[in-house]
């Protein structure tokens, strides 16, 4: 198994970036990451003024996967997420759905111990590790790591966690996958602009699926299949997510178009991943067992 040091970071996802690590098709790699603030808010004497806004959302990578070429799909299986002992969250008057209610920036450091996150002496939160930023090089111009799109990126999808697989459309030789922005936990929507931002390590297996591409990310867990869409507005994103899941159901199972629509209406769920990034992200999910009843087999 290979390791990728977290000092190898980028702030855009681009086909022009030189890879910092090459792995074989089907190989496992552990990727070390900073938090989204590049750990600048972790020291006790740091403050909101410590942030460098040109160093937000560092993503470790990119990784070149041998055999991946445009038109293929890259499958990233999340095998394990290991977190640092301290996370951080912050609010400010420039970012988030409730920014207008914030008078001065506030930072809270949150210890992670024994599977819990210490929010205060009165409250501990359940640990729910997830990956906020993960994606491949896009087909066109470089896209900042804080921006999600069809290549993945800053989707902030709470279901990108240990045991899940994410499928990305490959647009560049080697796919050029990068990741970062881990969270110890995060609410769907991320309305304040932050989850529990934290450094850590992600172990994942990277596999090329040749000549089989969907032009959108798909996340599969042990219970659900979900299509993910990122657009300028939430309305645009949910519309695309609905269309994407319908396309996936019709092309990957024996369901007819009409049956897929019916099943989406009675058994699928729309969820907002995040409302705060330059593009907003929505997922539509359906129980895996319903697709398996119509011949679905995970690749």
pLDDT per residue as tens digits for the range 174-201: 999 999 999 999 999 999 999 999 999 9
pLDDT at 48: 76
Exposed e or buried b per residue across 137-173, where buried means at least 16 C-beta atoms within 10 angstroms of its C-beta: bbeeeebbbbbbbbbbbbbbbbbbbbebbbbbbbbbb
User: How far apart are alpha carbons 159 and 13 in whole angstroms?
Assistant: 22
User: How far apart are alpha carbons 184 and 84 in whole angstroms?
Assistant: 9
For residue 162, the SS3 value is: coil
CA atoms within 13 A on the CB side of 110: 29
172 touches 62 (CB < 8 A): no
216 touches 228 (CB < 8 A): yes
Q: Cα 192 from chain centroid?
A: 18
pLDDT at 44: 85
Q: What does pLDDT average to over the chain? A: 96
For the chain, counts of helices (H) and of strands (E): 3, 22
What does the pLDDT look like over 187-242, one tens digit per residue?
999 999 999 999 999 999 999 999 989 999 999 999 999 999 999 999 999 999 99
Residues of the chain where predicted confidence (pLDDT) is lower than 50: none
User: How far apart are alpha carbons 79 and 128 in whole angstroms?
Assistant: 14
pLDDT at 203: 98
Provide the token pair at 59. 């993503």
């Amino acid at each position: 198994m290979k390791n990728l040091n977290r000092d190898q970071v980028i702030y855009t996802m681009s086909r022009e970036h030189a890879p910092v690590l090459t792995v074989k098709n089907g190989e496992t790699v552990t990727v070390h990451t900073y938090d989204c603030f590049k750990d600048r808010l972790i020291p006790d004497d740091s403050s909101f003024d410590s942030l460098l806004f040109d160093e937000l959302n560092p993503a470790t990578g990119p990784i070149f996967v041998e055999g991946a070429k445009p038109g293929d799909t890259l499958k990233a299986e999340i095998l394990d997420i290991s977190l640092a002992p301290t996370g951080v969250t912050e609010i400010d008057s420039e970012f988030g759905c409730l920014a207008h209610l914030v008078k001065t920036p506030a930072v809270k450091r949150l210890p992670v111990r024994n599977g819990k996150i210490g929010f205060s002496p009165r409250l501990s939160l359940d640990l729910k590790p997830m990956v906020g930023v993960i994606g491949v090089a896009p087909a066109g111009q470089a896209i900042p790591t804080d921006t999600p799109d069809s290549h993945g990126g800053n989707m902030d999808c709470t279901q990108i966690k240990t045991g899940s697989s994410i499928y990305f459309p490959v647009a560049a030789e080697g796919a050029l996958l990068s990741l970062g922005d881990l969270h110890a936990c995060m609410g769907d929507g991320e309305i304040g602009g932050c989850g529990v931002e934290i450094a850590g390590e992600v172990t994942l297996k990277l596999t090329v699926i040749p000549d089989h591409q969907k032009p959108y990310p798909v996340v599969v867990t042990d219970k659900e299949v979900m299509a993910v869409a990122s657009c300028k507005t939430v309305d645009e994103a949910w519309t695309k997510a609905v269309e994407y899941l319908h396309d996936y159901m019709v092309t990957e199972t024996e369901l007819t178009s009409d049956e897929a629509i019916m099943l989406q209406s009675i058994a699928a769920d729309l969820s907002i991943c995040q409302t705060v990034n330059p593009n907003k992200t929505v997922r539509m999910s359906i129980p895996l067992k319903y697709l398996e009843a119509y011949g679905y087999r995970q690749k």
